[in-house]
């Protein structure tokens, strides 16, 4: 374990371990909603707007075959639907169904609540510092906006 003399974890260990922590919370939340983690990610990405398959593949970091399987399973479960792309007759856009939208909203709210609780031990100033530093890392590395926090206007982006 990479803990220094002051009891601090190094940046690499802290980032990697925090990824595992968030992924575990995300997976637990998804399970409780009858979803896989990837289905939860798909629903959250589609909350803002429908996306084409290539966009989804890039955002979720999935190969074409894996994404097709994910969308197929989600479509069979009534959560998403494929619609013709108005700009390309050969392509489709994936959108939430009414059922998928309701489930996505509940899943999103619960997952946000659980992840937010991870910082309960921090003072407000510490939370702000953490958000600023992690936000900078995310922006500097051009991470796609696959999940917006409630304080980022996600509801407004979803048309609510």
| Residues contacting 97, CB < 8 A, separation 6+ | 78, 79, 80, 81
- Three-state SS string over 19-69 comes to HHHHHHHHHHHHHHCCCCHHHHHHHHHHHHCCEEHHHHHHHHCCCHHHHHH
Query: At 155, is the pLDDT very low, low, confident or very high (cuts 50, 70, 90)?
Result: very low
- Of the given ranges (14-28, 60-74, 136-150), which has the lowest mean pLDDT? 136-150
Supply the pLDDT for residue 8. 83
pLDDT average, residue stretch 31-57: 94
* Phi, psi for residue 90 in degrees, rounded to 5: -85, -10
Domains and CATH numbers, the chain: 11-157 (1.10.10.10)
Reference 119, options 133, 137, 100; nearest CA is 133
Average pLDDT, rounded, for the chain: 88
What span, in angstroms and rounded, lies between the C-alpha atoms of 54 and 90? 13
Please give the pLDDT value at position 160.
38
pLDDT band at 37 (very low <50, low <70, confident <90, very high): very high
Res 159: pLDDT: 41
102 close to 78: Cβ distance less than 8 angstroms: no
- Is residue 118 within 8 Å of 130, Cβ to Cβ? no
SS3 145: coil
Average pLDDT over residues 42-62: 92
H/E stretch holding 80 reads strand 80-85
pLDDT beyond 60 at 157:
no
- What tokens appear for 73 in the block? 């399973």
State mean pLDDT over 118-140: 94
The whole-number average pLDDT for the span 1-28 is: 84
Q: How far is CA 34 from CA 19, 40, 103, 104, 131, in A?
A: 22, 9, 10, 12, 30
């Amino acid at each position: 374990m990479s803990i220094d003399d002051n009891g601090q974890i190094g940046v690499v260990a802290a980032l990697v371990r925090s990824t595992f922590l968030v992924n575990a919370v995300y997976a637990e939340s998804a399970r409780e909603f009858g979803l896989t983690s990837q289905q939860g990610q798909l629903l959250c990405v589609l909350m803002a707007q429908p996306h084409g398959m290539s966009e989804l593949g890039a955002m979720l970091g999935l190969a074409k075959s894996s994404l097709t399987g994910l969308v197929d399973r989600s479509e069979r479960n009534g959560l998403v639907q494929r619609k013709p792309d108005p700009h390309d007759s050969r392509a489709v856009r994936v959108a939430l169904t009414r059922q998928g939208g309701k489930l996505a909203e509940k899943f999103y709210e619960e997952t946000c609540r659980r992840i937010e609780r991870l910082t309960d031990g921090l003072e407000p100033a510490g939370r702000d510092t953490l958000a600023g530093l992690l936000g900078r890392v995310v922006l500097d590395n051009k991470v796609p906006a696959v999940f917006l926090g409630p304080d980022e206007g996600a509801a407004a982006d979803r048309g609510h």
